[in-house]
Amino acid sequence: MVIPVHDVNPVRRTPWVTYALIAVNLVVFLRTPGIASSVAGESSLAQLCHLQAFWDHWAAVPQELIHHRMPRLVPTGETGVGPRGAGCVIGPPGYAKSPELSVLTAMFLHGSWVHLLGNMLFLLIFGNNVEDRMGHLRFLLFYLVCGYAAAYGFALLNADSGDPLIGASGAIAGVLGAYLVLYPRARVWVLVPFLIFLPLRLPAWLVLGFWFALQAVYSYGGGVSDAGTVAYVAHVVGFVAGMLIAWPLRPGTPPPPEPRGLLFGRQARPGYGWSGRGG
């Protein structure tokens, strides 16, 4: 897996929506019950039960989205002792929940610092150019539509699942799909883990195409042991939705600047058959 760190694709205007989305995700994460203590690795049972109840309340749950009804029993956030020992108490929900709105709130929930920072890194690098091309309000609408498409796409294939679905990954996958359509020849600096982190500058079509291929493979459970804990199908659906929505904008999109000086992390020299054009 490659880690993107920067793209050679300047913007014409400040990506205020991208910055605002990152800020909201960070604030919500810091206010999520039990997150700070879980980062330190010292979560108590009470904190875990509280966090589970919080996610069930605000996250998107596939069976709720498809069947449009709340389960009769949900985590209450309290702890108790049962036949199998101490655990989280379940009971009738003490709140009203809209499955449709839960998709929106779920986009701003994350389970760990790694989950949050990984998503925000991709949004920061690729979201600014997509926002620059679409405009602020259209980009925000596009982001939300991709998030909804990803959540419902996942729910349709996992209609009986009661596991909470959280994270901005589906919406951000849509951003990646749009970037691939609009700026396939843009150069992206990435870190490749090979003994050390090797910096390379690669075309966006290669970086994002490889990312999408991995998500597609992982969605079938291939190559990973935890395929059931990550909503890879949501990534695939969001990516495809982003490509389809951005496709009409492709003809009028200005090309990224031509790369100069470095090619794939190395100095380009005459005689290597490279004209200095991207792609």
Q: How many CA atoms lie within 13 A of 270 on its CB side?
A: 0
Whether the predicted model's global pTM rises above the 0.95 cut: no
- In tens, the pLDDT along 21-40 reads 999 999 999 998 877 555 54
- Extents of the domains making up the chain: 3-32+98-267
Query: DSSP label at 165?
Result: B
- In tens, the pLDDT along 197-216 reads 888 999 999 999 999 999 99
Helices of type H across the chain: 16-30, 35-39, 45-58, 62-67, 99-106, 113-134, 136-157, 169-182, 204-219, 232-246
Rounded Cα distance, 279 and 267, in Å: 16
Please state which CATH class domain 3-32+98-267 belongs to: mainly alpha
